[in-house]
Amino acid sequence: MTTASIESQYQRPKRDYDLLGASGRAAVETGLAAAEWYHTEVPRKVMKELMQRSDGPAIRDTLIWLGCMVLFAGLGIWLWGTWWCVPFWLAYGVLYGSSGDSRWHEAGHGTAFRTRWMNDLVYQIGSFMIMRNPVTWRWSHARHHTDTVIVGRDPEIAVMRPPDLLRVALGFFGVLDVWHGGLALLRNAAGIVSPAEKTYIPEQEWPKVIFAARIHVAIYAAAIVAAVVLRSWIPVMLIGLPRMYGAWHGILTGLLQHGGLAEDVVDHRLNSRTVYMNPISRFVYWNMNYHVEHHMFPMVPYHALPRLHELIKHDLPAPNPSMWHAYREMIPVFLRQLRNEDYFLKRELPPGARPYREEFHQVVPGLEPAAGSAGRD
């Protein structure tokens, strides 16, 4: 029997990424949702040391981050009206529209700082910068870690199958994120929590969602009014627009987290990707390039992820040596998924690594991919 005929006989239920859809209900019914995930063994004492929180690294990095933003914005304003201002606004934009994303993320886990109010402050700043409701996204991200890339359960799947490549391209300019994020803030500010949001936000948190949205909308409105009154673009170049013109680095790195990898599995080695990056990108990204490690042990602070990587890399797929290498791996998968949405990249484990768990991702007979190639689980 040919592969084509086998594929024609195999009828996988159509993916439904809607949080209220059939795939999500099926994940709950089969036990795939909130399942027990695979973890590489790490000695308890070592893990306790890795999970130790400290204010020092995050205070240093936050002062550098915010200090550079003030410096670049000041130079951009001073040189306004000349082409010399462009590189400073571009740098400011990346620190706003991309670093804001990683700061929101890590502070939201409560691991960046040891002191809670510091985590909360940076979380609020980062959430505002990337136009995300801080209450909504705290619960959204909790679901993302509970049901990572589980179709119909994970609200943060960046590239669905078949991939919408236009949407991916527009993401580098923040167009759709700002549009949808702005509409969500306006809807929340009007007192409306969507049915999808209600699936992961506890009812007692809904008033907080509305209050936070109203604060964000008020600040954005003030920036727009200031721009009109002053007849200057500078207020919105400082607040709002950097979410668009500075988003590219966050998308560049963020797509690599799970793009082209397996869905509906309970092993982060299958659905997450670790990529070695240059020091500047790692600073902007706050070490989230160690993404398998982060998902496997989300309570390890960002500054300890390189050490964690060295301890468990014997049990993980080989990291991509660069972003360029990772994109050369990922883009062909996206293109193939346009024709066959069941296609994906199956990561190859090193010799001696513990095998994949097979409970929820059995292969279809005759369609097994070669080791390290793309195909079905």
List, for residues 158-177, the tens digit of each pLDDT value. 999 999 999 999 999 999 89
Would you say residue 357 has pLDDT above 90?
A: no
For residues 195 and 198, what is the distance between their CA atoms, to the nearest angstrom? 5
H-assigned helices in 80-205: 86-97, 99-109, 116-129, 134-146, 165-171, 175-189, 195-198
pLDDT of residue 307: 97
Determine the length of the chain: 377
pLDDT of residue 14: 81
For residues 270 and 361, what is the distance between their CA atoms, to the nearest angstrom? 10
pLDDT of residue 234: 97
Contact 95, 284 (CB under 8 A): yes
pLDDT of residue 352: 87
Encode pLDDT of 65-82 as tens digits: 999 999 999 999 999 999
Band of residue 233 on the pLDDT scale cut at 50, 70, 90: very high
Give mean pLDDT, residues 95-116. Answer: 96
Give mean pLDDT, residues 265-294. Answer: 96
Would you say residue 371 has pLDDT above 70?
A: no
Domain spans of the chain? Answer: 44-182+237-313
Would you say residue 228 has pLDDT above 70?
A: yes
Backbone φ, ψ for residue 153 (5° rounding) = -120, -40
pLDDT of residue 137: 92
pLDDT of residue 370: 35
Residue 99 tokens read as: 């670093």
pLDDT of residue 118: 97
For residues 341 and 335, what is the distance between their CA atoms, to the nearest angstrom? 10
Would you say residue 354 has pLDDT above 60?
A: yes
Would you say residue 13 has pLDDT above 80?
A: no
pLDDT of residue 358: 59
Sign of CA dihedral 123, 124, 128, 134: positive
Residue 350 tokens read as: 């090193």
Encode pLDDT of 125-143 as tens digits: 999 999 999 999 999 999 9
Would you say residue 223 has pLDDT above 90?
A: yes
Mean pLDDT for the chain?
A: 91
In percent, how much of the chain has pLDDT > 70?
A: 91
